[in-house]
Structure 1
């Protein structure tokens, strides 16, 4: 009976926290359909408008390691509540902003709140659920978060069209601020990690210890390689690529772009169930996804003049699975990081995919500028090579760290039916002795 009460309590806490995460994803994507209105409201061009996205993603990526440290130091409840407060405040500022700098300030505050959310949620999942359930709950959380992305598309567009900029974003911001009371009142963390808070190492040592674990390095590159394609396409370049690069009608392009979100919602529980029940399948799942991703880009970029819409939809469905597959990285962290350092390791790993997303979005933009003299289709073919390059780098590093971790433990443990045992100091030293210069 005690176990049943504990399980129900964990699910209730997770439910409150995951609603906050859904709100974070909504706020993150809320500028997508508001772009044309933002151009007029702030009197800027497309390049300045893209700065909102680059700023937000950049803040998110740069805040992940500090977020992990904060979560380990102060607990998930406080940081999650702070995240909700910052999300609401940022959206309120954005709602009332009439100047471009003030609008940037609003998105910066919102981005900071968004950056604090996911690591806090994963900390709650790690302390509230068993290792076997962790992958399923984490991927389900990600899938439910994608519903916030759905709400930020045509429903938000309809509300903006009906009541306008200020009422829409002001209501979203004030509602989020009110929800902070629920997270503060109901979110609680498991007791095990708290017992170690009084004897934590210095922050710098904590980060070094997390990065020294080979499992953290492997998880970093898994996350880097798997999630950036769907991120760069859904946040910024997917719609222009479909319309200008492939010549789709705008309405059709919007439907195809929604596949990136629907795929995450559908794929999350599927990937989570597989990764949770079959640890031996995790790395093959990652490598299989990376192979399919590369194959999709090969088809999209070599088919002339443009692939059929069915091929494009199938490719975007594959890209959508990058988000669910990226949660394999957090399952690796959950099993091999000590309880008092799981937030720090999670923050390091979570920074990987979002840094890759920012690099991918920036790289596509730079190549578009350099290829300005080409026809639109050829211009976008050249620009999308930035995402292919990141994919190749991420896949190469993932394979190398899979082999190094397997070699360090004396067997190919990642491909067997039991999870990789936690690395001891001798394992870490052996890896670092030969690979300390590797990023």
Structure 2
């Protein structure tokens, strides 16, 4: 939860950040792009370190890095220093979610995996609510330095708590293992001797690639909306009050929290139809909702904006299904490496979307809070369409290859 509060700390104060650093839209996008680029780039190295050292030390280091990043952000006098702060923040954030997924795998039976991952996601989503309301209120009632310095202090506190209370594995086990309660099989979770072989082997399986593209396509629109561009669009583009806009964005988070256990249970029940029944429909509703909003004549009515945030809310829980794919199609010794490959997909798409939105706003001469307009925002959000098209195409392709690999579909004969 604290990691996502850190990740989303500019979501409700993006306009304040633009004014503080005199930043145009492309520069403001750069804050999020750099943060997500570091996050995505660190996923495979973090996965390898997790396979070698376990969750607790990696999580402690991640918490401390985020604290340092927020402290630097609190005192940063310029854009350059603030970008360094976001680099540190992205590096620390990258360690947390994969480490928690490893704890799920080593502390809980394999059959509970999908539900526990969704419950983990739900807990984390509460961090979005903290970033949206209390953080903005605190900023407007105190100062920038006090607000971000306070988050840095929380990070140090939680680093101590993680070190004190979190353990890599249950005390009765000498190694990190995952247990199948139906068969009684216990598998050791450890790293491959040849790291390069482990990464290549993970990527060679179509199930891992299916996981990557599922995570690439499902959450990026919601991430771009929540992380940076949602509040400016709703307030400066659609003309909503800050309170109404924050309420809508909060609804997105609540929807994700409600849908998480439902999609987790469905993913467990229909493991061979996850992509067709859950992943692709969640993408389709996001595309349809955005197209309706973009092509609506004039400002979109409140009911349509509500539909939009509800549909975007489905993307987060659907993205968790990607980790079910990664866990299903990879042996235990590649668990964290495959998770890292999968997790990098969503953030690669998100940083691309955030940058394209900011760049498109700048190219239209609407790069600062004073020049934002509804028409400019619509063209900017339209740039998400190619990412959806690419992702959905690759999901269909890799799903077919995965089903052939599993023996569920016949292999196509070559002429």
Question: Which of the pair is proportionally richer in helix?
Answer: 1
Please give the per-residue CA displacement for 1:327-351, whole angstroms capped at 9, x wherever unaligned: 0010111222111211000000000
Unpaired runs of at least 5, structure 1: 1-21, 414-429, 435-439
- Structure 2 counterpart of 1:328: 321
Change (3 A) 1:340 1:172: same
- Structure 2 counterpart of 1:404: 401
Tell me if structure 2 keeps the 8 A contact 1:371–1:382: no
- Structure 1 counterpart of 2:110: 131
Which of 301, 314, 331 aligns to 1:308? It is 301
1:15-54 map, 5 Å: 22-39=1-18, 41-54=20-33
Which fold has the larger relative contact order, with Cα–Cα distance below 8 Å and residues 6 or more apart in sequence? 2
Change (3 A) 1:402 1:46: closer
- Structure 1 counterpart of 2:72: 93
Tell me if structure 2 keeps the 8 A contact 1:131–1:335: no
Unpaired runs of at least 5, structure 2: 178-186
Tell me if structure 2 keeps the 8 A contact 1:65–1:347: yes
Compute the RMSD of aligned alpha carbons: 2.6
Change (3 A) 1:286 1:412: farther
Correspondence 1:234 to 2:226:
yes
1:146-157 map, 5 Å: 146-157=125-136
- Structure 2 counterpart of 1:422: none
Correspondence 1:110 to 2:103:
no
Please give the per-residue CA displacement for 1:94-133, whole angstroms capped at 9, x wherever unaligned: 2233333322222221211001111111111112112221
What SS does structure 2 have at the residue aligned with 1:327?
Answer: helix
Distance in 2 separating the partners of 1:304 and 1:183: 51
Correspondence 1:268 to 2:260:
yes
Change (3 A) 1:36 1:217: closer
* Structure 1 residue 276, shift from structure 2 partner: 2.5
* Structure 1 residue 242, shift from structure 2 partner: 2.8
| TM-score, normalised relative to structure 1 | 0.83
Correspondence 1:343 to 2:322:
no
Distance in 2 separating the partners of 1:97 and 1:371: 29
Tell me if structure 1 keeps the 8 A contact 2:26–2:359: no
Correspondence 1:385 to 2:406:
no
* Structure 1 residue 372, shift from structure 2 partner: 4.3
Distance in 2 separating the partners of 1:199 and 1:317: 40
* Structure 1 residue 366, shift from structure 2 partner: 2.6
Distance in 2 separating the partners of 1:36 and 1:159: 15
What SS does structure 2 have at the residue aligned with 1:63?
Answer: helix
Distance in 1 separating the partners of 2:284 and 2:268: 22
Please give the per-residue CA displacement for 1:249-288, whole angstroms capped at 9, x wherever unaligned: 4443332222222222222222222223442452211122
Distance in 1 separating the partners of 2:85 and 2:363: 31
Moved more, 153-162 or 56-65: 153-162
Tell me if structure 2 keeps the 8 A contact 1:223–1:327: yes
Change (3 A) 1:187 1:311: same
Tell me if structure 1 keeps the 8 A contact 2:212–2:343: yes
Distance in 2 separating the partners of 1:126 and 1:199: 15
Which of 104, 124, 148 aligns to 1:145? It is 124
Pairs aligned (count): 395
Tell me if structure 2 keeps the 8 A contact 1:68–1:347: yes
Please give the per-residue CA displacement for 1:387-439, whole angstroms capped at 9, x wherever unaligned: 121111111111111111112333249xxxxxxxxxxxxxxxx99xx9xxxxx
